[in-house]
Amino acid sequence: MEFFLISMLNSISYGLLLFMLSSGLTIIFSMMGVLNFAHASFYMLGAYFAYQISGWIGFWPALAIAPLLVGAVGMAVERYGLRTVHKFGHVAELLFTFGLAYLIDEAVHLIWGRSSVPYAVPPSLDGAAFTLFSTEYPIYRVFMMAVSISMLIGIYLTLTRSRIGLVIQAALTHPQTVETLGHNVPRVFMLVFGGGSALAGLAGVIGGNAFITEPGMAAAVGPIVFVVVVVGGMGSLVGAFLASLLIGVIQTFSVALDYSFVNLFAKLGITIGPNTPLAALWDLTISQTAPVLPYLLMVLMLIFRPKGILGTREG
Amino acid sequence: MARLKYRPLNLGRWLVWGGTALLMILLPQILTAGFTLTLLSQIGVGIIFALSYNMLLGQGGMLSFGHAVYSGMGAYFTVHALNLISKGAFYFPVTLTPLIGGVAGAFFGVIFGYVTTKKSGTTFAMISLGIGEMVAACSLMFAGFFGGEAGISTNRVIGEAFLGISYGPSIQVYYLIVGWALICMVAMFAWTQTPLGRMANAVRDNPERAEFVGYDTHMVRFLTLVISGFFAGIAGGLSCINYEIVTAENVGALRSAGVLIATFIGGAGFFFGPIIGSIVFFTMVTAIGSITQAWAFYLGLLFLVIVLYAPGGFASLIAMHVPVIKARLMRRLWLPYSAALATGIALLAGLVSVVEMTYHFSTEAGANPNMKLFGLAFNVTHAAPWAVASALLVGGFIISRFAWNLVGRTWADIVHILQEQSA
């Protein structure tokens, strides 16, 4: 029970972090039809910016400044990069963001070095929030959840209640009409791209010190975020939310479970030795397969339900 | 009834292929520096790999982010085959072992391809990425087959030497690679001329129309992927013979990214594009990689510049100039090009200085603030070098914009003249 509750809390906080990344990606995708490969790189930039800024003026200003900086970088990328390649089609846009991801990775290598940086949780958030059975649950995890949830509510209110949110929603489906009504749609695109990047940056600020801030963090989280977007259904925010939590649960629980087919067969009265056919496969424990599970889920999803959980269109 | 058809000897084609073959055979005799043979072997394998990748990207319109899966699996099957042959489990000539890799690549093409090729475009890109990550993650799970962190090593010198060929010296391996590269290049070029190759182009350009004509676009894409997997597997097998070790890197995301970058830099729209791309890519990696740690940054930058300003790659830049040369209009371009080159060099010098100084500053400024760049020694903690570098960068950027405007105007004139001539 204790294991279950703690893991559940961890998966929710991880899932919410994933959602901060995938929500920006999903909005950008539904708006521009392009999957932003560099999205996870913005996440990494957020973590590194926060590390640098918190070294100068502390964590709390960094929490606000780093995402804004990342958002500014995102807007510049949209304005001077994506808009230029837009005329060459989606493949060119995808390639552009791919090249950008590569370049940001290398720039991070060059500026901050190849090993991880000591970006630590601020002392005011260090410690236990509450004790569940015998495990102390860290305040920082609770803080992460609070930031993610307030972010979530913020996005929801912006998209449904504010004027700019309504323009964004309209521009998603009818860009020409919105333009005819006198709104500057390219600028809306730029703002959305910047906003999505800022969200990724915020996820980096709070995720960077919860996990680890290193140059490989973008490559580690990027494909997972794509899995979330594909499993949730391309372009569906609610789908991305469900998929984020699902992937969070899968990844958190699977690392901790040490069962394999051998145990299962043993319960059924079959013993598996090293000479049984496919012994290497039956011997694998769930925790060993943990890195593969999200991708397996994605491939299975694409075979049986290509639309994703709540997607409206295929591809 | 046999069809009688008169076909003139295609002299140009024979010259191009013959020249390529001759060049590949003679190059190691001309360039004798220590690293060239390694580099040439890399380029040879890279050409096969990039051409197989371009079957998907260029001919089939499928942007794959996981092509290393097929070459990597080909390499793993070849390495296991070589180890089994040396144990005497079965007999197979080493010369033909890349075929085992090819069959393995095609096999995994059949397994993964059916799912991935249902759609093209973004969906295909996503699934190929997912499959690539899945296989890369598997490679650390099944240590028996993939060899875990250390990989699997082998010995290519097996059995008795045949006609003095033992594949011990690397020059013999180079010629093995050249032989395979030539066969694969011809085969892949021939493939573009087959009905399937033509249909792949049709499915790339207008899948809806291809379906209306009665072709199954899914099937066309699937077959293209399987054949592409076959050639990628051959490349993998050759790299296994070349290095005598196969590690998880061979199926990793970086390898997939590398082949994408090489192909795109060369030009996906032309058959010979990936060949140029491989040459540029591996020369850059080896030559710049030996000078500076920041080589990957420059490579990424080159890739972005190509995506933004020359999406057809180097091949399209070459092809653009052919009609200009034929119309004897090149002389108009020399002046704008020299201006662009001169300002470009200033811009590049500024960029390289800023990148190198940043790198030096972040890594070892505390221990050793002095560095040397372009033959000049200076201290990176002083403001003066930074001022010079940023002045070069910003100034170079501004004046190169003027130069490029001049190039653009001249090109517009030339296009106008060409149109008038053809009208």
Nearest to A223 among B119, B133, B359 (CB): B133
Whose tokens are 């933004």? That residue is: B308
Q: Is 0.90 surpassed by the pTM of this model? A: no
pLDDT of residue A314: 47
**Is B122 within 8 Å of A288 when comparing Cβ atoms?**
no
* B362 in contact with chain A, both atoms CB, cutoff 8 A: yes
Nearest to B245 by CA among B107, B149, B136: B149
Burial class of residue A122 in the structure, from the number of CB atoms within 10 Å of its CB (0-12 exposed, 13-18 middle, 19+ buried): middle
Structure tokens at A242: 């469900």
In chain A, the residue whose alpha carbon lies closest to the alpha carbon of B299 is A103
d(CA A120, CA A55): 10
Where are the alpha helices (H) located in B244-382, listed in sequence order?
Answer: 253-266, 273-291, 295-309, 313-326, 330-364
**Is B257 within 8 Å of A88 when comparing Cβ atoms?**
no
Residues of A in contact with B148 (CB under 8 A): none
Residues of A in contact with B65 (CB under 8 A): 98
d(CA B389, CA A133): 60
**Is B264 within 8 Å of A34 when comparing Cβ atoms?**
no
A residues 178..217 contacting B (CB < 8 A): none
**Is A110 within 8 Å of B358 when comparing Cβ atoms?**
yes
**Is A291 within 8 Å of B119 when comparing Cβ atoms?**
no
pLDDT of residue B180: 93
**Is B130 within 8 Å of A84 when comparing Cβ atoms?**
no
**Is B130 within 8 Å of A226 when comparing Cβ atoms?**
yes
Determine the distance from the C-alpha atom of residue B127 to the mean position of all C-alpha atoms in its chain, rounded to a whole number. Answer: 22
* B146 in contact with chain A, both atoms CB, cutoff 8 A: no
* A277 in contact with chain B, both atoms CB, cutoff 8 A: no
d(CA A112, CA A211): 17
- Residue B241 contacts residue B77 (beta carbons within 8 Å): no
* B127 in contact with chain A, both atoms CB, cutoff 8 A: yes
**Is A299 within 8 Å of B138 when comparing Cβ atoms?**
no
Of the residues A25, A93, A103, A227, the best mutation for testing chain B's interface (the one with the most B CB atoms within 10 Å of its CB) is A103
* B388 in contact with chain A, both atoms CB, cutoff 8 A: no
Q: Which residues of chain A have pLDDT under 70?
A: 129, 261-262, 269-283, 311-315
Nearest to B307 among A99, A280, A289 (CB): A99
User: In angstroms, what separates the C-alpha of A222 from chain B's closest C-alpha?
Assistant: 11
Residues of A in contact with B141 (CB under 8 A): 284, 288-289, 291-292
Structure tokens at A292: 């593969």
Q: What is the DSSP string of B139-153?
A: HHH-HHHH-TTT-EE
Q: Which residues of chain B have pLDDT under 70?
A: 1-9, 34, 159-162, 164, 365-367, 369, 380
**B16-156+165-311 maps to which CATH number?**
1.10.3470
pLDDT of residue B374: 74
Nearest to A315 among B123, B260, B304 (CB): B123
* A298 in contact with chain B, both atoms CB, cutoff 8 A: yes
In chain A, the residue whose alpha carbon lies closest to the alpha carbon of B139 is A292
**Is B137 within 8 Å of A99 when comparing Cβ atoms?**
no
- Give long-range contacts, CB 8 A cutoff, 24+ apart: B340-345: B340/B400, B340/B403, B340/B404, B340/B406, B340/B407, B342/B403, B343/B396, B343/B399, B343/B400, B343/B402, B343/B403, B344/B396, B344/B400, B344/B403
In chain A, the residue whose alpha carbon lies closest to the alpha carbon of B57 is A91
Q: How many helices (H) and strands (E) does chain B have?
A: 16, 4
- Residue B101 contacts residue B78 (beta carbons within 8 Å): yes
User: In angstroms, what separates the C-alpha of B196 from chain A's closest C-alpha?
Assistant: 23
User: In angstroms, what separates the C-alpha of B308 from chain A's closest C-alpha?
Assistant: 6
Spell out the residues 6+ positions from residue A13 whose beta carbon is closer than 8 angstroms to its own: A141, A144, A145, A148, A248
Structure tokens at B9: 């000897």
pLDDT of residue B1: 44
**Phi and psi of A183, rounded to 5°?**
-95, 145
**Phi and psi of B188, rounded to 5°?**
-70, -35
**B245-246 and B152-153 beta bridge pairing:** antiparallel
Residues of B in contact with A85 (CB under 8 A): 307-308, 311
3-state secondary structure of A270: coil
Neighbouring C-alpha atoms within 13 Å toward the C-beta of A84: 16
- Where along chain A do its domains lie? 2-255
Nearest to A95 among B145, B294, B307 (CB): B307
* B395 in contact with chain A, both atoms CB, cutoff 8 A: no
d(CA B93, CA B82): 9
- Residue B53 contacts residue B259 (beta carbons within 8 Å): yes
- ipTM of this predicted structure: 0.83
Residues of B in contact with A113 (CB under 8 A): 362-363
Residues of A in contact with B302 (CB under 8 A): none
Spell out the residues 6+ positions from residue B11 whose beta carbon is closer than 8 angstroms to its own: none
**Is A81 within 8 Å of B359 when comparing Cβ atoms?**
no
pLDDT of residue A287: 73
Q: Is B310 left (phi over 0), alpha (psi -120 to 50) or beta?
A: beta
d(CA B257, CA B260): 5
Structure tokens at B67: 């092509």
- Where along chain B do its domains lie? 16-156+165-311, 327-422
B residues 189..228 contacting A (CB < 8 A): none
Q: How many residues does chain A have?
A: 315
Residues of A in contact with B355 (CB under 8 A): 110
Residues of B in contact with A292 (CB under 8 A): 134, 137-138, 141
Handedness of CA B389, B394, B399, B401 (dihedral sign): positive
Determine the distance from the C-alpha atom of residue B139 to the mean position of all C-alpha atoms in its chain, rounded to a whole number. Answer: 24
pLDDT of residue B231: 95
Angle between the N-to-C axes of helices B36-54 and B253-266, in degrees from 0 to 180, rounded to the nearest 10:
80
d(CA B154, CA B240): 8
Where are the alpha helices (H) located in B32-141, listed in sequence order?
Answer: 36-54, 68-87, 97-116, 121-141
Of the residues B119, B127, B146, the best mutation for testing chain A's interface (the one with the most A CB atoms within 10 Å of its CB) is B127
Amino acid at B158: I
* A223 in contact with chain B, both atoms CB, cutoff 8 A: yes
Amino acid at A163: R
Chains A, B: CB contacts within 8 A come to 122
